[in-house]
Structure formats: C-alpha cells, structure tokens
Structure 1
C-alpha cells in the first residue's frame, strides 16, 4: 500500500486505466504515498471524505463544546525562520515562499471525533497518525478531461471592519495570490492544453470551533487534458507536485529554501525529532472510476509520541511583516466544528 514516487505513478496509471476506484494519499515530497483500491480499504485504519464521497458511518459521540489549547513557538523563534526566508527573497532566490511550523495543542476530543465532526471539503483520518480537514482543492478532473486547480492564498478574520474589502485591496495579498495563480498556470501547462483562469480571487467563508469566521481567497485555473488522461494520471499528478500554494515560486529553488528555513520552526519540546512536514501539505484524493478529485492537506493535526501538534503556515513575500505572518499562522490553528 505504501509506494515511492515511481511505483506510485505506475500504480495510479494501472488503477485509472482499468477504471478501478482508489484512494491516493501522498506526502509533501511525493516520496511516501498510500494507494489502495476503495474496495480493499480498512475503514478502521483509514477514513476519508472527499466532497461527499466517503467510506464510513458516523459513530455516536457526545456533543459538547470543542476546546483547543495552543502552545505556539515564540515570535522570536518564528522570526529566525521568517528572516531566513526573506533574506532569500531579497537575494532574488524566490518570489514567494510558504513557511510552515508545528504548534503543540491540547484537545478535549479524539482525532476520530475531529474527523467525523469537522466540516471540510477533504477529510482524511489515519488511525494513531493524523487527521486532516482541508478546505483547499488541489485538482479536479471531470469525465471529459477538463482539469481545474483552485489555489487558496489569503486569510483574514471576517469580524474585522470591511474584511472583504481589506483583503481584496491588500497589495501584499494580491501579489501573493497572483504569484500562485501564475505558478498554477505554469504547472497545468505541463500537462494540459488551453490553460485559462476561470475565476480570480473569490471569497470562501469558514467557521471555526471558537465561533470565529475566517475568509479565504481562492481562484480557479483550468485546462484540457488529452483523451488518454486516465492512462497517464500518475505522470499528470506528479508533474504538478508539490502544490504551488504550499511551496512557492520558482518552485525548485523555493523547496530548498523551505527545507533550510523550517529547521528553525520545531517546538522546543520536540527538538529531538526536529520538524518535517511529512503528510502535511501533501495531497489526498480519490478516483471514482471516471473522475478524479483531490485536496491539499492543510489544516492538519498529527499524533506524536509527545502529544498532538497542529501544522500551519503561510506565504512569505518581500512585503510580508513578521508579526502579521506569525499571527496568521496561529489564526489557522482551529477545527471547523460549529
């Protein structure tokens, strides 16, 4: 069930060409992937929800208020990583870099309950490992071979005065979002023809466990695949990985910057293991026999030997302000349970 990059490509191509429905989960680096026919999944070990398609029956649970306590790294520690990223940006090595870290948390419900009670487009539960409840689409492919990606970049508290206008007029947010849209256009151009921006900077509203509403900005970029896309689905996916919205531009050099900068961002109590993204910011999705639907695994809680950690982050540009980025990283630590 676990495969490296090359074996994953072959397995995906085999399943898709034969019309076999399957689940795909890949880590950030695309080197550790889980691929299994839906009919063979052990729902005690792996549960999924992909835009309404799922493999579980909701269990009975006590309905009570969710309490999530955060213990983020200090601002001074975060700024070490932030400064490393911005130095590279000012040197011209990157235009946009996605910087992430992990935050120890305490929860009064189990990861399984988080999975079952969360409202999100994409949800994945791996027993004793992690739960993901992501609002962000990676790519969707319809029966005719139209492929669409939906980069999500830009977050603001909906309770702020004129929140929609504020985020739409923010020059830093506009530049960051435009950069990602351009990167996604380039990624789709590697696999598709006639690539175009179908929607630009629309607003999604998300409710959090602390009754807060946040706004997130997305776009839709689409293209047309060849008629034999199912036979080549593995190559199509891996040519676009990792997702541009959680890496940056230019992608290859930015990935080097991420690997270096994120060494600064692990919490002190987990310093022996250091920080790595693992499956966080990877991809999850299903092929249903005819179409493919996948999400970027943001909004992610991982079970570690020392306890639970919530992984979150955001895009850094030359105009970014460290305190604002630090606050946004913490703001994204929530569970979408109302």
Structure 2
C-alpha cells in the first residue's frame, strides 16, 4: 500500500510538472519502491549530478573538472564464481524450459576496487547518460529508455546482444547468431507491446543496428540495438508520469512476459546479489526540459556499499543460452568508458 501511494504521488507530480511545463528530473528504482521527482531548479548539485548528451538533447548540471596528474585507472575485479553463476543460471533455464518465460535478464554483483573515487570516475567517463548520487552510486549508461519529442513521438532503443569488437568479423558474427537474434527479437516485440499500452500507433523504425562502445582499456564492445517508435498525441505532457510508470520496469532488463519473469529474477538473483533487491540498478532516470523528455536505463552501474564498491552487470538468458558464454558477457561489461 505504501509503495502504491508513493508511486501515485510521484506520478501526479510528474503530470503536474508536465502540464505546467516545469523542467524536472526523475529516478525510479527497479522494484519501484523509492521513486523520486525533483524540479530542476530545486536540484542539489552537491549531492546529485547528471549529464545527457546525444543527438536528441544535451543537458548537465555541473561544470567539468580538470583532474591533473591522475594515475592511470585501475579496476580490480573479484567476480562471483562460475559455479555460483551456474546455480542462478540453472534456475532461470529451468523456468525457460517450462515456458514460464521466453527471455529473462539475469544480473550479478562483482566486487571491485579502484584507485579513482566514484566522483572522479563520473567526471572522467564518457557516456550518453551519466548519473552520480554522492555516497551511493554512479551510472554511465549507453541505453536510452524512452525519448519523447515535443510533438508526442515516443522512441525506445532496446539493446540486446554484445560482442568484443576485436574478434575477427565480430559484427557479422553477432548479427548471424541465432540465439542473439531470438533474444533481440523477443525484446523488440516486448517493447512494441509496452509502447502500444501508451501510444496510438507503434512501429519499428530500425531493426538490429550496431552501436560501438569504448572501454577504458581502449577496446570496443559492439552492441545490437533497435528503434521502436509510437505516437502519444499533443497532450502527452499532462500524463507524462502515467506514461513512464506504465512502461516500467524496462523490458530490456527484465524479460518477457514481465510479471512471471520478475518473479524468476527475484528468486535467481538471491544467489548473485548480497541483497535481495537491485535498487536503482536497472531502474530508469530522465529529464523533462519543459518541452521534451529523455531517459536512460540505469545499466553500467557502480554502487558504494558498506563493504566497498560493487559493479552490477548482466545479460539476457534464453533457452538457447550457454552458461559459460553468459558469464563471460557479464564480466565483459565491467568497464568504464573513460575519456
């Protein structure tokens, strides 16, 4: 009941700000238990800073810091063992084979140490979407949740399928992989269904194109993306909160069908997480500037815990998945795209 009331309060505030065209930032955790919305004029930049930079918008609430004489970045990983991952993977796979889910996003925590602080990492990393909450976490996400233009066109860009760009013919390999194609198509169908719940008309603008993402060691990852669009109508700002919450949690980091898949995730991730909740990892954050809205899925995520830093990462599991390959993908996503 308390969770529902908090969500309703945030939805109503977002609708109110949308109607009055008051710029705001919003954040919603994966479990949708601690959502927040803050007018941009009331945002405390000593506690929370963000940047959103792509062809759609360019926002940030801080001045760049020039760090001098920085030592080269070092990140030491202490991942969960393959044996532990296989137990969680096995639970997911058993449900997939029973038909309880078609695609399940399984994630894990990796303990890390770094010679840079979270704030330094935030300022030095380059990503489409960045968020830093002091003493809590940083996020440097390449993945858009939804973008809404002033005319009411809504666009989503699900990312599914990752490969090291250094592999010979990497692009051809990832696009030809049947498991990856099935996984990606499943997510595109899910996003189409999600957008259909809020939009009048929905279509796939682009299907399975390649994004290139740089890691701190200079190497690149190739990620497969699609673009799914819809039309909301001119009065979308008055119901912007309802629109966002109706689409949560993001399909690309949950799975299909959503309700049962969320149950599977909760059970399986008890083995890969010290806590039973993802928290803001794989939640969403975004900015409404009074005219349009841009938002991100909070992946590529480092959290400050009482025991140190943890890097949270994962990937989509289908009935065709192989545990060792999924484990390798999980570890390959532990990187910081520094400048």
Return the TM-score normalized by structure 2. 0.96
Show CA shifts across 1:45-92 (max 9, x none): 000101230000012313432111110000000000000000000000
What's 1:219 paired with? 226
Secondary structure of 2:270 counterpart: helix
What's 1:328 paired with? 329
Residues 1:55 and 2:23 are matched in the alignment: no
Alignment: residue pair count: 331
| Runs of 5+ unmatched residues, structure 2 | none
After TM superposition, list the pairs within 5 Å mapping 1:308-327 onto structure 2. 308-327=309-328
What's 2:8 paired with? 6
Partner of residue 24 from structure 1, selected from 23, 26, 33: 26
Using the TM superposition, name which of 27-36 and 286-295 deviates more: 27-36
Secondary structure of 1:32 counterpart: coil
What's 1:144 paired with? 151
CA distance in 2, matches of 1:139, 1:327: 29
Partner of residue 110 from structure 1, selected from 84, 105, 117: 117
Show CA shifts across 1:252-274 (max 9, x none): 110010011100113xxxx5xx3
Residues 1:284 and 2:274 are matched in the alignment: no
CA distance in 1, matches of 2:105, 2:99: 16
Partner of residue 132 from structure 2, selected from 125, 128, 138: 125
What's 1:236 paired with? 243
After TM superposition, list the pairs within 5 Å mapping 1:244-259 onto structure 2. 244-259=251-266
CA distance in 1, matches of 2:319, 2:199: 31
What's 1:306 paired with? 307
What's 2:184 paired with? 177
What's 2:77 paired with? 70
Using the TM superposition, name which of 164-173 and 49-58 deviates more: 49-58
Residues 1:84 and 2:86 are matched in the alignment: no
Show CA shifts across 1:23-66 (max 9, x none): 11110122211211111111010001012300000123134321
Using the TM superposition, name which of 254-263 and 57-66 deviates more: 57-66
CA distance in 1, matches of 2:43, 2:63: 14
CA distance in 2, matches of 1:28, 1:285: 14
Secondary structure of 1:265 counterpart: coil
CA distance in 2, matches of 1:94, 1:196: 24
- The alpha carbon displacement at 1:275 in A equals 4.3
Secondary structure of 1:256 counterpart: helix
| Runs of 5+ unmatched residues, structure 1 | none
Show CA shifts across 1:171-203 (max 9, x none): 000000000000000000000011000000110
Is residue 143–residue 157 contact of structure 2 (8 Å, CA) maintained in 1?
yes
CA distance in 2, matches of 1:261, 1:168: 29
Secondary structure of 1:128 counterpart: coil
Q: RMSD of the TM alignment (CA)?
A: 1.2
